[in-house]
Structure 1
Amino acid sequence: MKKVLITAFTALVLFSCQNDQSEAAGSETSASTARRGCATQEVLEAQLRADPMLAIRMNEIEAYTNKAMLTGKLVNGKVQIPVVVNVLYKTAAQNISDAQIQSQIDVLNKDFNALNSDFGSVPALFAGVKANVGISFVLDQIIRKSTTKTSWGTNDAMKKTAQGGLAPTSPTTKLNLWACAIGGGILGYAQFPGGASATDGVVIDSKYFGLSGSAAAPYNLGRTATHEVGHWMNLRHIWGDATCGSDLVSDTPTHNAENYGVPAYPHYSTCSGTPVEMTMNYMDYVDDNAMYMFSNGQKARMAAIFLSGGPRAAFGI
């Protein structure tokens, strides 16, 4: 496992300049109708260009997170997150049912509490670092709105009433999810801690929301939301959005690049030390049925943001 030492300067580079998108894809053994597309990093880069102070806020969050982990000052007990689901639909299929929405909440609760049925499939190599994050989710409200838009893109239009969307509800104390047609092959995207509250939350294409109804294989197990909520809780992509990049977590191996489909195990990185990649981590790009774990280091990063003084402390401990 790698060691992570982040200085203030390094963090500034990470959050203001990291756009080295690797073109090489990891090994895959199953053909997918479409590759997983998460626009979180691209949205972050656009936000950084629009708001020069965002990099500074994210640096401060990173420094706080590192201090919390180094001192062992992490959240005790359970964190329960109220979830508001904003449904924007043009077609009947996009107007996803209450049951489909609840199925997504159920998946989040299983995945973040090590109750997913495939948790036992984690290879022995990673068994010592697989985590029960201990964060739960409760459906607070469903808001629906009919629209004439065919697709919303990734510029946060779905979060703005002036552009026909739905503004977030109490974003400092509730996780807002938007289910809508994103377009462009994007399954979803999230806003990292530190961004504007007016756009805070997670967007998921309605075709990949939950387990039933419009949910389409190979992304029909609700893991798009698990991946994106991980970003919302301050997790980076496991390959660090760069060739042999850093995800700022010490117990995940260095990945050469993102992986797609269902990689054969073991899949070796070409980075220094050629470690076995943790392709089954929720923060990779594999199919839903191929991702089924967070690591203890990722758990620590997520827990830190809910502490007093953390960027999501208002959710309460």
Structure 2
Amino acid sequence: MKKLLLTASAALLMFSCQNDNESATTETTNVDATAHRGCASHEVLEAQLRANPALAKKMAEIEAQTQNTLETGRIVNGVMEIPVVFNVLYRTSAENISLAQLQSQIDVLNKDFSATNSDYNTSNNPYSSVRSGNTNIRFVLDQVIRKSTTKTSWGTNDAMKKSTQGGLNPTSPTTKLNLWVCTIGGGILGYAQFPGGSSSTDGVVIDSKYLGTTGTATYPFNLGRTATHEVGHWLNLRHIWGDATCGSDLVSDTPVHNTANYGVPAVGHRSTCSGTPLEMYMNYMDYTDDRGMYMFSVGQKTRMNAVFAVGAARASFR
């Protein structure tokens, strides 16, 4: 297991831009989304950091506050209810997904975040001892806003979040989770904004083909886990491999990974990083197919709850 050596300066270094690859474009790299999970959250974060150097300092402060909350135990008690606003942008009738499909996504989020998902007790899970159990975070369908568009794809430059670019502005983003449903393009299934970014673009984006469990939901990403993954980012979770070879996700009870896992790895799959640990490929923050991911860790649960503490990044949701 990883040990965390976190200080504000280390956190600031973590958030520095690591490359100059432009991700905020209308069309992203052409990847077959049916073969590999594509999450653009890290790339979008790097673009935001390049555009706003002050964001790195703000996120380092959030990280320091998160670690202080974890160490002192000052987290929210009881159940945190998160109102969800779906912003549906559609060109075709298939993209104008049904209320039933939207509700199926809410249902998946509530099962995954309360550890009542049917695959939670998978018998061959080598990490059953550190499964999170109920995170005490609940999602409630608050509103559905629909808008017809002529755009065939939206990319990852947040255009769908701006009425001036043909999208929909967020509704009460400091007290409601805005979730945009649209065709992203480029093989990207979804992306999220981490805590600390502008409220005018805060929320999660999911491609309409990978949302919920019915309607247009497309195998192997047809069990609603793309939203579980992206909401994890929105609640300050990193990819489990730390977006670097043998990197850190800032959680103490998850093992070091070489990189992302795809498909459904065989039981016993190990990392070649130091100590060759068993990889937690069944974790929602990996890149496996929907049927291959079914748990958060205890450390991830504590980290997510920390963002709602008094003075924390999402305290306004209390």
- Establish whether TM, by shorter chain, passes 0.5: yes
Paired AA for residue 229 in structure 1: V
Unaligned runs of 5+ in 1: 22-30
| TM-score, normalised with respect to structure 2 | 0.94
In 1, Cα distance between equivalents of 2:163 and 2:46: 23
Instruction: Indicate conservation of the 8 Å contact 1:88/1:146, yes or no.
Output: yes
Structure 2 partner of 1:10: 10
Query: How far has the Cα of 1:123 moved from its partner?
Result: 4.1
Query: How far has the Cα of 1:33 moved from its partner?
Result: 3.1
Is 1:234 the counterpart of 2:236? The answer is yes
Q: Secondary structure at the match of 1:121?
A: coil
In 2, Cα distance between equivalents of 1:122 and 1:8: 40
Instruction: Indicate conservation of the 8 Å contact 1:20/1:241, yes or no.
Output: no
Note closer, same or farther for the CA distance 1:122–1:6 as it changes in structure 2 (3 Å cut).
farther
| TM-score, normalised with respect to structure 1 | 0.95
Note closer, same or farther for the CA distance 1:120–1:20 as it changes in structure 2 (3 Å cut).
farther
Count of residue pairs brought into register by the alignment: 307
Instruction: Indicate conservation of the 8 Å contact 1:122/1:292, yes or no.
Output: no
Q: Secondary structure at the match of 1:82?
A: strand
Q: Secondary structure at the match of 2:126?
A: helix
Note closer, same or farther for the CA distance 1:166–1:264 as it changes in structure 2 (3 Å cut).
same
Residues 16-95 of structure 1 aligned to structure 2 (within 5 Å):
16-18=16-18, 33-95=34-96
Residues 162-311 of structure 1 aligned to structure 2 (within 5 Å):
162-311=164-313
Aligned sequence identity (%)? 71
Instruction: Indicate conservation of the 8 Å contact 2:33/2:188, yes or no.
Output: no
In 1, Cα distance between equivalents of 2:126 and 2:215: 37
Note closer, same or farther for the CA distance 1:118–1:18 as it changes in structure 2 (3 Å cut).
farther
Note the alpha carbon deviations across 1:226-280, whole angstroms, 9 max, x for none: 0000000000000000000000000000001100001001110000100000000
In 2, Cα distance between equivalents of 1:188 and 1:164: 19
In 2, Cα distance between equivalents of 1:125 and 1:67: 30
Note the alpha carbon deviations across 1:31-54, whole angstroms, 9 max, x for none: 983210000000000000001110
Structure 1 partner of 2:163: 161
Note the alpha carbon deviations across 1:196-238, whole angstroms, 9 max, x for none: 0000000000000101111100000000000000000000000
Query: How far has the Cα of 1:125 moved from its partner?
Result: 3.2
Higher relative contact order (CA 8 A, sep 6+): 1
In 2, Cα distance between equivalents of 1:103 and 1:19: 38
Paired AA for residue 242 in structure 2: G
Query: How far has the Cα of 1:192 moved from its partner?
Result: 0.1
In 2, Cα distance between equivalents of 1:259 and 1:281: 10
